[in-house]
Chains A and B, each alone.
Chain A
Amino acid sequence: MYELLKFKDFINVLLGFKDTLIISLVTIIVSIITGMIYSILKLSNNKILNLITFIYFQVVKLIPLLLFLFIFYYLIPRILNVSINNYIVALIVFIIWATAELGEIITAGIKSLPKGQLEASQSIGLSKFQIFIYIQLPQSIKRIIPGGINLFTRIIKTTSLVVFVGVTDVIKVGRQIIERTNETFIIYGFIFILFFVTCYFLSRLSVLLEKRWEI
């Protein structure tokens, strides 16, 4: 019954899944940096900067990523008259999204620190940047990591959207195999299991860390 399906096909799906994971990994690594910048802006007492981060977060929260993907895929290249690589488009959009999400997680972690920490470090004359790097971030890292892992699973799930802008990922590989073999249920089921195993493992890890660090 399944003579058209070869063992090699499953290996190819796994290789496609590796691409999905790489896109997610690059997204999370870049957004750690941009998320930190976001939270510095958000925690600063400057009203304009606060307003900018507020609007940025609301926009990202309310607009589906697919709209961002469409804008960056169809509109920006036509306006600027340049061709942007599909991978870059997908990465830019995911980073825009993950920056806001991770920035909010970092901000919440830092805000939960006792106020005395901030006052004490101000009183010994540290600059705002030094306070952020040396005092606030190391102490709140235990509160940030579980949420960060959770966000990572959401990024992995969301990367499935790249198929809309023609990036070769696990779904596209699966589709190519299906075109040849027509085994829709097995291939999509296999991809479903791959996503489930990865994300389930990560979300368990996040729950475990949260419990161990007692937040």
Chain B
Amino acid sequence: MRIRMTAPLRERFVNIATYIVVLVGVIPVLLPLFWLISSSLKTKDTVFLAPPQWLPSVMEYHATSDFGVVDLIVDDTFAYATGTLWRVHVPLATGNYVHTTLDVPSDVLLPANTQDTDAFRLPLPSWQTTADVIRTGLSHNNSTATVAFVSDMVMPHDVICGKSVLNPQWNNYIKAFQEEPFHLYLINTLFVTCAGMLGNIISCSLVGYAFARLRFRGKNILFLLLLSTMMLPAQVSMIPTFVMYVKIGWLDSFKPLLAPTMLAQSAFFVFLFRQFFMTIPADLEDAARIDGCTPLRIYWDIILPLATPVVIVVAVFSFMTAWNDFFGPLLYLNSDEKQTLALALNNFKTAFGYRDPQLLMAASTIMIIPAVVIFFCAQKVFIRGVVITGVEK
């Protein structure tokens, strides 16, 4: 009796606890993606800033002192990949201005002491203004900054308040395309993806159809062979296949990437089609066969239209495989103009990863977006696919 009374309450408690855990757990899942997008909108010098910045923003500093206004303007045209060059513009009481640049690399922002992790000290070896600054301290939190100048010209401890201003750099996306012809790589990727999708749908469904519906000798053994290829690590046949493609002059072309799809080498897709075709009642074809239709005709007119759900699964999975594929292009594509997005991104990282991190982030975001969109549109398909691979295999 007691159990029944408390059970709903207890259920509720557990549900709330579950919610909390699941919500907390989802943060680390989404945070990196958020950071990716946020970084893709940052200026070059704020990407590598320590401590890292949440939002694509710049600090704007304004302060008044007895001697006038001190503006610290973050100038990204002079900033170096991982450092920050501050241009300091100090109007003096006499009406003159002092301009100077100040190299404040992010890696010298060291915690001043362990008790106060928000305080950072900037050792500045080369502060060359008429106001000879002996020591500059910047205490930093998310929204305000205080710069204390100690000098004989500017009064000690002039307080400069800074404000973090949201400043997304949308043109990073345009710049990324200007820096590297990603649009060409996008065409390459789309071509490989679409051709692979087409190849997979047609060849795998034909083979699946034959295995499901037609009787021929050796069928079972061949089907067993097909299933066993699923278990074989790809590395084992990688070398001879690579050599073969090199020898027939297919290196640096899309053919090695497309051949396996045209030749129904994905055992998983064939298996999916075969399982589905097994469930279609035989009467449908029998009628057509009596009318003298060839199996090809039956396949195209009757069987394939029925297979819509499997075609969707295969289309989505083969899109994702081709879109995400890195190893294939790495192995077979060499030329600049033949790169796929995955390969181009990796090359961009190697060459400009430190120089233009924000552009690399923008390019990565571009590559991730189609995958995310397709995933959200077809999440049921994904889940079904994963379950089939996972459980039936």
**A and B: interacting chains:** no
Q: A residues touching B (Cβ–Cβ < 8 Å)?
A: none
Q: B residues touching A (Cβ–Cβ < 8 Å)?
A: none
